Amino acid sequence: MAWLHRCSLGTAVAVVWALVGASTVMAQNSNSWPVVRLVGVEYVDVRAIANRYNLSASWSAQSAAVRLSDARTRLIFKANSREFQTDGVRAFLGEPVVRHRNSLYVSRIDVVTWIMPLLQPGAGVPRSSRPEVIAIDAGHGGPDAGAANRRVGVNEKTVVFDLAKRLKLKLEGRGYRVVLTRERDIKIPLQRRPELANRASADLFVSLHFNSLPSAPAVRGIETYTLTPQGLRSTADAIREPDDRVVVPGHRFNHWNTVLSAAIHRRLLASLHPIDRGMRRARFVVLERINCPAVLVELGFLSNAAEARKIATPAYRTQLAQALADGIDDYRSSISGRGNRLRAKLMTDETTPWPTL
Ligand SMILES: [Zn+2]
């Protein structure tokens, strides 16, 4: 609610209190941050984030970066960069970090939709129940084979479907009910996939893909996508687009999308040790019209020979399924309030000395 930031906070809270009662006030308060408008966007001083979460802030003049940390958490922001680090994991903001008055600033929407879910997963609008029904979406199918590596003899539609079945078995073994958006090698239109999940009352939606970049066969690694929140740019967009402001059903889950993304991405990194290509955001059709938290994972590049050979082995796909199931379990722990911080924490650059402060 933009007006909340254009009038005095006290007045706004008083009005909201009078109209709708205490629970809404709590929610509004927790999403309220002191903002300054820079380059036409609402920004929050990183020191305000440090204050709220009791993190110590260290500034590196050399790399124009700020580290916010305590014993369990480390966030690193760099001036003019959309990339940031959370406990050694890469992620991409919608707006670049801005240097202003001897501090760094993160856009307010990024703070609310990235930083708050990462630091306080359990603080989102309560989900009604633990996730029980998981929709697994094996990408492509039928005449649409997706990416392929002919040398290795592997194509995307086949391996994602195989992976979907492995993941289904693992999840069913842990007590989840699983629906597949496709049960065989057929083409399912993109819009139809979230519809099928919605009809099955899915509590989570996980879309499985493998990547390809034939022009750069050295590129490899794993990416985890969630829906770009309204008002932000997608990771791949260099400039703001007219549709950035369009609101879709998936936006109700901005907070839980981030929690789910972090849970799954961290498990994938911890288990498989791939190149970390980061937690990213995009307006993928399958993530827009969904009535539950949703991610789309790009689990490796078939255009990279070494990665394609691994993906072609059933053993590796079993490992992928295991990591995905563990990530879903971590998410479930966050929902139930047991895991206020996600378990699969990575501090991969813990031994790298921070530049002189
Ligand atoms: Zn794909």
Residue 46: which CATH number?
3.30.457.10
Quick check: is 58 in a domain? Answer: yes
Work out the average pLDDT over 40-46.
96
Quick check: is 23 in a domain? Answer: no
Single residue among 86, 119, 152 that ends a domain in this structure: 119
Quick check: is 245 in a domain? Answer: yes
Quick check: is 11 in a domain? Answer: no
Quick check: is 167 in a domain? Answer: yes
CA 89–ligand 1 middle distance (angstroms): 23
CA 304–ligand 1 middle distance (angstroms): 15
Note whether 182 and 330 are same-domain residues: yes
3-state secondary structure of 214: coil
CA 211–ligand 1 middle distance (angstroms): 6
Quick check: is 169 in a domain? Answer: yes
CA 72–ligand 1 middle distance (angstroms): 35
| CATH number of the domain enclosing 312 | 3.40.630.40
CA 212–ligand 1 middle distance (angstroms): 8
- pLDDT of 122 reads 77
| Structure token digits, residue 289 | 């019209």
The strand order across the sheet containing 98-100 reads: 36-38, 41-45, 103-107, 98-100
DSSP E strand boundaries for the chain: 36-38, 41-45, 56-60, 65-69, 74-78, 83-86, 89-92, 98-100, 103-107, 133-138, 148-149, 154-155, 177-180, 204-211, 222-227, 276-282, 294-301
- pLDDT of 336 reads 67
CA 156–ligand 1 middle distance (angstroms): 7
Q: In total, how many domains does the chain have? A: 2
Per-residue model confidence as pLDDT tens digits over 170-225: 999 999 999 999 999 999 999 999 999 999 999 999 999 999 999 999 999 999 99
Note whether 218 and 315 are same-domain residues: yes
Quick check: is 345 in a domain? Answer: no
What range defines the domain where residue 58 resides? 32-119
CA 287–ligand 1 middle distance (angstroms): 14
CA 120–ligand 1 middle distance (angstroms): 32
Note whether 63 and 155 are same-domain residues: no
Sorting pLDDT into bands at 50, 70 and 90, what band is 339?
A: very low
Note whether 140 and 115 are same-domain residues: no
CA 77–ligand 1 middle distance (angstroms): 31
